[in-house]
Amino acid sequence: MKYVIEKLKEEKNILLNKPYIERGKQLNIKDIMLSPLIKLITGPRRAGKSVFALQLLKNAEFAYLNFDNEQLLNEFDEDKVEQALEEVYPKYKYLMLDEIQNLSSWDLWVSKLYRRGVNIVMTGSNAKLLSSEMATVLTGRYLMIEILPFSFSEVLTYRNAEFSDATPTQKANMALLMDEYLVNGGFPETLALRSITQNYLSTLFDSILLKDITKRYRVRQSTELYNLASYMLTNYTNPLTYTGLAEDLNFSSKTTLQKFIGYLTETYIYYLLPRFNNKLKLMQKAAFKLYVIDNGFITARSFDLSPNRGRLLENLVFIELIRRGYKSGLSLFYFKTKRDKVIDFVCKNGFTITDLIQVSYDISNPKTLNREISALKEAAVELKCNNMLLITASNHPVESIEGVQIISILNWLKNSEKEICHWNFGNSV
């Protein structure tokens, strides 16, 4: 075991010496590290969780275990691991546990370490597994930080660029960067060489299905799972129902299909957005809309000859709203008016509807513009909300029409992006 941990120490040192983009600038890292609570960093694979954890720990004496390491998992024994840690890291003050969900009964072991006063930073890529086990065994003893793929602002930082459209050249350059991000997304390892993006993300998508779902949950119907995941990827932003999906894909059991969709959302590939309704039963029966964690996945596995920028823009806006702390089904919904006009996003704070957001890539056609404004005004009356926003890729000369604020995607990102990741405390004891 000591040999394994020594090899992991070498891995840690390599990672620490790699260049990285600083994330979570809005967080008070000093206060986070002084807290005795467990620091849980969650998010999709390859989004930068480990790098962020290392960023937190870079000035501290810390030990490192990576549970993607098969040898560590196969030979894991609590006593032997803890003894080896003391030998390899005799003065460590923090313990970093990477991809902790791979270790069975990890929550019991982490709970023991916590009670003994070990200051723990850990990462994981399964939202439900981590949250449910943390809630039962470690209630009130952790804070959670969610890391998603790079925001557009972070991509600009990586490119040594900043929001600017003061001159025609700057405006053109910014538009090119925006389009690149819209199509290829923000997974960190794709930014250095965009030519590999599709191959890299296609492989990552398959790896998540195989390693994090099929293997973990011992899924026997792997073909059905793969077909479902692929079908969902081509139907992003569309309204779907469990019954319709079961029929389209010839699932014999709707229960199995629902279980598979649960796996796909737990691993941060997909989000389901429910339709807003004051009556819970009606909301549960209505179709949900589907969104993907990163536009790069869509492009990588798309059968389309050219990207559908309208749908990609809607998906981008959804993920940005999630990045800013909105929770699908709690504070974020879509809506359909009595005349069947669809509002892309309804933002809610407590019992109050705060914002109505419509996304339309191109509003240069007056019919398109009037359609979007009409839908927002109709929803505003029904939901008693006057904050109406139309986000577009077009540079529209007018900023407001009939109470609807019109804003370009670039200005919306520039003016509204406040959070790169968000964090919250676990439930109190």
Which residue segments constitute the domains of the chain, with CATH numbers given? 2-147 (3.40.50.300), 153-422 (no CATH)
- Decide if pLDDT at 280 tops 80: no
Q: How far apart are CA 128 and CA 126, in angstroms?
A: 6
Nearest to 237 by CA among 279, 193, 272: 272
- Decide if pLDDT at 424 tops 60: no
Q: What band does 423 get if pLDDT is binned at 50, 70 and 90?
A: very low
The pLDDT score that the predictor gives to residue 87 is 96
Please check whether residue 181 is in contact with residue 152, taking contact to mean a CB–CB distance below 8 angstroms: yes
Q: Cβ neighbours of residue 242 under 8 Å, at least 6 residues apart?
A: 254, 257, 258, 261
What is the reported pTM? Answer: 0.92
CB atoms inside a 10 Å sphere around CB 194? 12
Tokens encoding 131: 């949250």
The pLDDT score that the predictor gives to residue 7 is 95
CB atoms inside a 10 Å sphere around CB 193? 9
Please check whether residue 81 is in contact with residue 163, taking contact to mean a CB–CB distance below 8 angstroms: no
* φ, ψ of residue 290 in degrees (nearest 5): -115, 135
Q: What band does 307 get if pLDDT is binned at 50, 70 and 90?
A: confident
Q: How far apart are CA 258 and CA 146, in angstroms?
A: 25
The separation between CA 428 and the C-alpha centre of its own chain, rounded to angstroms, equals: 25
Over residues 282-295, the mean pLDDT reads 90
Over residues 213-221, the mean pLDDT reads 92
The pLDDT score that the predictor gives to residue 128 is 67
Please check whether residue 254 is in contact with residue 328, taking contact to mean a CB–CB distance below 8 angstroms: no
Which one is predicted more confidently, 395 or 206? 206
- Decide if pLDDT at 132 tops 80: no
Convert the pLDDT of each residue in 105-126 to its tens digit.
898 899 999 999 999 999 999 8
Over residues 315-333, the mean pLDDT reads 96
Convert the pLDDT of each residue in 154-206 to its tens digit.
999 999 988 887 788 888 899 999 999 999 999 999 998 888 899 999 999 99
Q: What band does 73 get if pLDDT is binned at 50, 70 and 90?
A: very high
Q: What is the CA radius of gyration of the chain?
A: 23
